Amino acid sequence: MQIQRQLRTTCGLALSLAMVSSLGLTAIAQEATVQGMVIGRNGPQMAVKTADTPRLIVLLSDSTKATQKGGFLGMGGRDLGVEALVPGLSVKVEGAYNPDHQLLAKKVVFSKGSLNTARAIDAGLDPVNAKLGEQQDQLASNKRDISQSQDMIAKNSQDIDATKQGLATTTQATTQNTTQIGQTNTRIGTLDQYDTKDSMTINFANGKATVKPQDKDALTDFVKAAANTPGFMIEVQGYASTVGSATLNQRLSAERADAVLAIIQQSGAVPMTRILAPAAMGTSNQVDTDHTRKAQAQNRRVVVTIVVNKGIVGSTGS
């Protein structure tokens, strides 16, 4: 009897250890690391295109680390915040899947070069991305197929119906490739189509990027009011006048946008997932093209815009 009791105890302990090990393996299996390109972001949701899926939903939070890799061997990286995760950015996401197969991001890593390219695209300075050339080649090939089909229609009227059917199929393939090009062009994804709800302009002194105290208070009140707009996002765009060199004006527009973004962050009125990456617009979109002092003063500015995703606007209206 004593031996039987010992055997039962031993078997029970082994079964418990097996169950614990199984649970541990399940927990480990939930962890994941994916690599891909950001194709859109709406608040805490970020869409990433990977080699395995055309659209993986990644969930961001204020605790998510958005880290730019350092120089030699990737050491010395720095956390730039989730607002740096703009469409067109090549990223590596570390996290765990939830039951809806959405990746809860703990850390997002990207290179400085990829960030610079994505920001240039975001500011409208570099509309061509890495995959556009390949897809344009495919589009040209499909157009040649359409031309060949049309020649066949002209030569053989008896096969018009069959040729039209083949032409329709080719046209559909061309449309699909055109859509893919639009998705790859980072500012045309559906998550980046917004309606403007309100905006605020902050002006700066010549050659300066310092926000005046009265503008700082007005900006804080503006951002707090924006928090009452369902599904809102905050867009920050910095501009410069044409006084000075193009390089200086581009840098000033970036510094002004960053200064306004810092005040928005310090206000604590909105989560960082609701802020789009600041855009340095340089001397584009001049308010007044005159060369007078008053006209140029209007061009030295930052425009803060409250936007809402068109999909959210549509669902709210219905």
Q: Check: CB of residue 242 under 8 Å from CB of residue 299.
A: yes
pLDDT at 260: 94
pLDDT at 135: 64
CATH number at residue 92: 2.40.50.140
The residue written with tokens 């169950």 in the block is 19
Instruction: Identify whether residues 225 and 276 lie together within a single domain.
Output: yes
* DSSP code of residue 300: S
Looking at the domain assignment, is residue 241 inside a domain?
yes
Residues 6+ apart with CB under 8 A from 102: 57, 58, 59
Which of these three, 72, 103, 122, is where a domain ends?
A: 122
Q: Check: CB of residue 41 under 8 Å from CB of residue 191.
A: yes
Instruction: Identify whether residues 242 and 176 lie together within a single domain.
Output: no
Looking at the domain assignment, is residue 225 inside a domain?
yes
Walk along the chain (318 residues) and give the pLDDT tens digit of each residue. 555 555 565 555 555 554 544 444 444 447 999 999 999 988 899 999 999 999 999 999 989 999 998 766 656 678 888 888 999 999 999 999 999 889 999 999 999 888 888 887 776 644 444 355 456 557 766 877 787 777 777 777 777 777 777 777 777 766 665 555 554 444 434 445 778 889 999 999 999 999 999 999 999 999 998 888 888 899 999 999 988 899 999 999 999 999 999 999 998 888 888 988 888 898 888 888 888 888 888 999 999 999 987 765 554 443
Which of these three, 140, 159, 184, is where a domain ends?
A: 184
Number of domains making up the chain:
3
Looking at the domain assignment, is residue 24 inside a domain?
no
Q: Check: CB of residue 236 under 8 Å from CB of residue 275.
A: yes
pLDDT at 138: 73
Give the tens place of pLDDT for each residue, 109-164: 999 888 888 887 776 644 444 355 456 557 766 877 787 777 777 777 777 777 77
pLDDT at 149: 72
Instruction: Identify whether residues 310 and 199 lie together within a single domain.
Output: yes
Looking at the domain assignment, is residue 7 inside a domain?
no
Give the span between the Cα atoms of 61 and 150, in whole angstroms. Answer: 53
pLDDT at 64: 94
Looking at the domain assignment, is residue 153 inside a domain?
yes
Angle of CA points 84, 195, 105, to nearest 5°: 30
Give residue 170's domain range. Answer: 132-184
Angle of CA points 65, 67, 73, to nearest 5°: 140
Counting other chains too, the contacts that 99-106 makes at CB distance below 8 Å and 24 or more residues apart are 102/57, 102/58, 102/59, 103/32, 103/34, 103/56, 103/57, 103/58, 103/59, 104/59, 104/61, 105/46, 105/58, 105/59, 105/60, 105/61, 105/64, 106/63, 106/64, 106/65
Instruction: Identify whether residues 255 and 200 lie together within a single domain.
Output: yes
Instruction: Identify whether residues 209 and 307 lie together within a single domain.
Output: yes
pLDDT at 32: 93
Instruction: Identify whether residues 169 and 259 lie together within a single domain.
Output: no
pLDDT at 84: 87
Instruction: Identify whether residues 107 and 143 lie together within a single domain.
Output: no
Instruction: Identify whether residues 289 and 311 lie together within a single domain.
Output: yes
Instruction: Identify whether residues 209 and 311 lie together within a single domain.
Output: yes
pTM: 0.52
Looking at the domain assignment, is residue 213 inside a domain?
yes
Counting other chains too, the contacts that 171-179 makes at CB distance below 8 Å and 24 or more residues apart are 171/146, 173/142, 174/139, 174/142, 174/143, 174/146, 177/135, 177/138, 177/139, 177/142, 178/139
Residues 6+ apart with CB under 8 A from 209: 252, 255, 256, 258, 259
Instruction: Identify whether residues 222 and 173 lie together within a single domain.
Output: no
